[in-house]
Amino acid sequence: MDLTTYAIPAFVLLLAVEILAYRFTPDDDRRGYETKDTATSLSMGIGSIAANLGWGLLAILVWSAAFEATPLDVPGTWWGWALAVLAVDFFYYWEHRAMHEIRLLWASHVVHHSSRHYNLSTALRQSWTGAHHLVFMAPVALLGFEPAMVFAAYSVNLIYQFWIHTERIGRLWRPVEYVLNTPSHHRVHHGSNRQYLDRNYGGILIVWDRLFRSFEPEREKVDYGLTKNISTYNPLRVAFHEYWAIGHDVRHAASWRERFGRVLRGPGWRPAADRGPVPESPLSGAPVPGDPQASLPGASQASAGVVA
């Protein structure tokens, strides 16, 4: 049960409200909306809806098989649904973290980080290649949650994250900021500032980041996008440019170890022995030797780029 489809009218309404807010109460410190960027985000969102029809069918098959294989069976009571939302949020944290630390998964997720603006339209800029959800949410079905519950809980997670893609909301009450993912926390996640790279992976709860030491508070002004941005509004290039870049790097790799590293290590990874110039993909903007971003821990945003 994909609840995000039913939430589309609310998304559109809130998007319009934010656009009007920028029009009538502009903020010179915020980037607001730009026509081409917003059109690209909306195009990526529409394409994602179409692509998810196929991925959703595969998810039903995978999660149904996992549910049938487990002796566990969580009832559809209020507390069963609450546990489903909690379980999905926990595994979403690890899915999101993996998408920043494994380049092949980052090639899918980079789409969401491909805007230099941060507004509600950015929340709709989604990937068309979401096969990783099948794997990372399968443990939830193995814990005894029916596939319909997994689908619904995952939808709740995504719907929650829509409203945090805004600069129009500052910090909230401290207890809320401590427990929940908020606009302030998620602005950090979309930042290309050195101290903000690969931080705040949480979907609904920010406590996972606090527990697993990936939390960073918002301090200085956030620079959105990636450390290497691409200048295109073409939805096809936005959707697939990092896959193209991976292919480029694999073709130019000097060994099988490097090939595997270019695919399965972090997006900013390069061989330690590599001291000469590396052919740079015109789309990925992959860091060349000597680029200080290439040595950043986990620097997922250093490999490509044009933003739970």
pLDDT in tens, 139-148: 999 999 999 9
User: Residue range 231-252: average pLDDT?
Assistant: 95
Which one-letter DSSP state was computed for residue 117?
A: -
What pTM was estimated for this model as a whole? Answer: 0.87
Chain-centroid distance, C-alpha 113 = 7
- Report the pLDDT value the prediction gives residue 276, as an integer from 0 to 100: 47
Q: Is the pLDDT of residue 125 over 70?
A: yes
Per-domain residue ranges of the chain: 4-211, 235-302
Residue 89 has pLDDT above 80, yes or no: yes
Contact 284, 242 (CB under 8 A): yes
Angle at CA of residue 75, ends 74 and 81, nearest 5°: 85
Greater model confidence, 190 or 131: 190
Determine the Cα–Cα distance for residues 8 and 84; give it in Å rounded to an integer. Answer: 23
Each residue's pLDDT tens digit, 35-53: 999 999 999 999 999 998 8
* pLDDT of 223 over the 70 cut: yes
Tally Cβ neighbours within 10 Å of residue 267: 33
